[in-house]
Amino acid sequence: MKKKEIMHRVIQLMITLVGVTFLTFCLTYLSPGDPVEMLLEVGDTIVSQETIAETRAQLGLDKPFHVQYIRWITGIAHGDMGLSYSAKMPVADRLWQCLPGTLSLAVSAIIIMLLISVPCGIISAVYRNHKIDYFIRGLSFLGISMPSFWVGLILLYIFGLKLGLFPIAGGVVSLDRIVLPAVTLAIAMSAKYTRQVRTAVLEELGQDYVVGARTRGIPMRKILWHHVLPNACLPLITLLGLSIGWLLGGVAVIEMVFSWPGLGKMAVHAIEMRDYPLVQGFVLWIALLYMGINLLVDISYTYLDPRLKKGGVQ
């Protein structure tokens, strides 16, 4: 992708962003319940009508729709996403608080997943229809079939409760607490990715350039590492980008099972509490995230595949 095309993409992103923010804003505006009351209510306290009116004016919620939207979007441009009713703090701070949990979980899950699925996928492809291939495919089928919350509970039961190797209660981000949720996520993802890697490598092994390299007497090991794998990576990068987006958006089920302080758990809580500003902030984060990752994936292709950089045929 040339610089001009990247600029085009960034402009496209801005337009999408306006659309996303508009829809997210509508979500709050159309939602039932009065945000001011929700913000002021703590326990059974009764708030006077004057205070409500005052706060409403303060927050600008008495203004018409378009004024509110412009205020909200200007706020976002300045990093102000409003106040979270449930956390009683700015939305940006609340998201920022949950980010380390999600980020560390995402990174460790991706690393474990790659460590499992890349070697397994390659072995499975190279020894296609051998015993080891059937074995790996069997495991991957098993991995795909098991729901991850169930795997999480089983891991907690075995390694947390019975063997006592890892703490059961989460709540804080720490090295020993991250192992079980990361492994749980990695199991489900590895099962999927092992198959993807296998398919991609098999596809490349069938290409003419592999025959070409063999007739030039290049050893199979070198063909695999220097030619087949770099080519097989290309289709996998898009998938990996989507997975990273999915993980960074918070994986609610896993975070709930392990009471892991991440964005997914926060989002579920925010929805339960009807904390619309926080839900808005969360949706905006996901949108930004996917757009950013897609852009990065597209840019990375131009570096990894010369056919795209030089504008040749695909």
Q: Tell me which residues touch another protein (CB under 8 A).
A: 206, 208-209, 211-220, 222, 226-227, 230-231, 234, 304-307, 310, 312-313
Are 113 and 193 spatial neighbours (Cβ–Cβ below 8 Å)?
yes
Q: How far is the CB of 122 from another protein (least distance, A)?
A: 17
Coil, strand, or helix at residue 214?
Answer: helix
Which residue number, 213 or 263, has a Cβ lying nearer to another protein?
213
Are 121 and 197 spatial neighbours (Cβ–Cβ below 8 Å)?
yes
Are 250 and 267 spatial neighbours (Cβ–Cβ below 8 Å)?
yes
Which residue number, 50 or 208, has a Cβ lying nearer to another protein?
208
Which secondary-structure segment (H or E) carries 242? Answer: helix 229-248
Q: How far is the CB of 113 from another protein (least distance, A)?
A: 24
Which residue number, 131 or 310, has a Cβ lying nearer to another protein?
310
Q: How far is the CB of 305 from another protein (least distance, A)?
A: 6
Q: How far is the CB of 208 from another protein (least distance, A)?
A: 5
Cβ atoms within 10 Å, residue 125:
23
Query: Cα(3)–Cα(21) distance, rounded to whole angstroms?
Result: 27
Per the document, the length of the chain is: 314
Q: How far is the CB of 110 from another protein (least distance, A)?
A: 24
Show the tokens assigned to 6: 């990247």
Which residue number, 8 or 222, has a Cβ lying nearer to another protein?
222
Query: Cα(249)–Cα(37) distance, rounded to whole angstroms?
Result: 29
Tell me the backbone φ, ψ of residue 84, rounded to 5 degrees.
-85, 125
Which residue number, 298 or 305, has a Cβ lying nearer to another protein?
305
